[in-house]
Each structure stands twice: as C-alpha cells, then as structure tokens.
Amino acid sequence: MRAGIENLIEQVVTGLGYELVDIEFSPRGRLLRVFLDIERGITVDDCATVSNQLQRVFEVENIDYDRLEVSSPGLDRPLKKLADFERFAGEEVQIRLSLPVNNQRNFAGVLGGVRDGAVVITTEKGEQLLPFEDIVKARLVPKF
C-alpha cells in the first residue's frame, strides 16, 4: 500500500513539473509529508498547487489520511538519489553510513559527485569514496 501511495505521489508531482525529494509517513500513515523542489526554488503557490492536486487524486483513489503537508526540502535538503549527489557537487554535505569506511560512519565535507557508483566527498582527511548503498542519511549543510 505504501509503495503504491509513493508511486502515486511521484506521478502527480513529476506530472506537474516538480521533483519529488522525499515523502514522510507518520506512524499509522495519518500524516503525509511531501517535499518537492524545482530548479528556480519552491514558492507557497507551488505547495498549494501540488497539495490541491494530491487531495483530488487521494479522494478519487480512496486514500485515507488525516493531514497532508507539502513543502520545500529546506536549506538542509536531503540527498536521496544518485543524481542528487551529482547535481550538488561542490556543496558542503553531511553523510551517515550504515557500515563504517576506515572506522568512520559520519562524514562532513565537500561533495565531489559520483565515481563508479560511489559518492565522492573531500574531508579534512582528503578524498573519500563512500558506497552509495551504505548511505543512511545525507544532507546539504546550509550556508548563511
């Protein structure tokens, strides 16, 4: 059921010309949070457009939920897809791994893109290659 809802949300979001960044389900699926992005940045109107469209689709598809939140991913945007790691090369990131690389699971540094299916990050210790499949969490570090 959850995968079906995720596919439905992705179809609606991409059909409207946005990129689906992430979906969060509260326990028991009563709250749905949808994070979207677009090259020019997300506005309140974008969130309203996607929210209205999703509400109509959920009604037609009989999807039961209490609340829907649609927003931008924020300045500390999560990186989920391999393409995200390419797109944000040159940005500062924080990455957590499921399995340690050189006895380390948490990394902070400058993203260097992707090489041979691994994410490249330059830390104070130099360049590191992190296996994409071992990445548990990755976020941009906001600049103020």
pLDDT tens-digit profile of 84-102?
Answer: 999 999 999 999 999 999 8
Each residue's pLDDT tens digit, 54-71: 999 999 999 888 899 999
CATH class of 2-71: alpha beta
The pTM of the full predicted model, rounded to 2 decimals, is 0.79
Pick the CATH number of 82-140 from 3.30.530.20, 2.60.40.10, 2.40.40.20, 2.30.30.100: 2.30.30.100
- Torsion of Cα atoms, 32 then 19 then 140 then 108, to 10°: 100
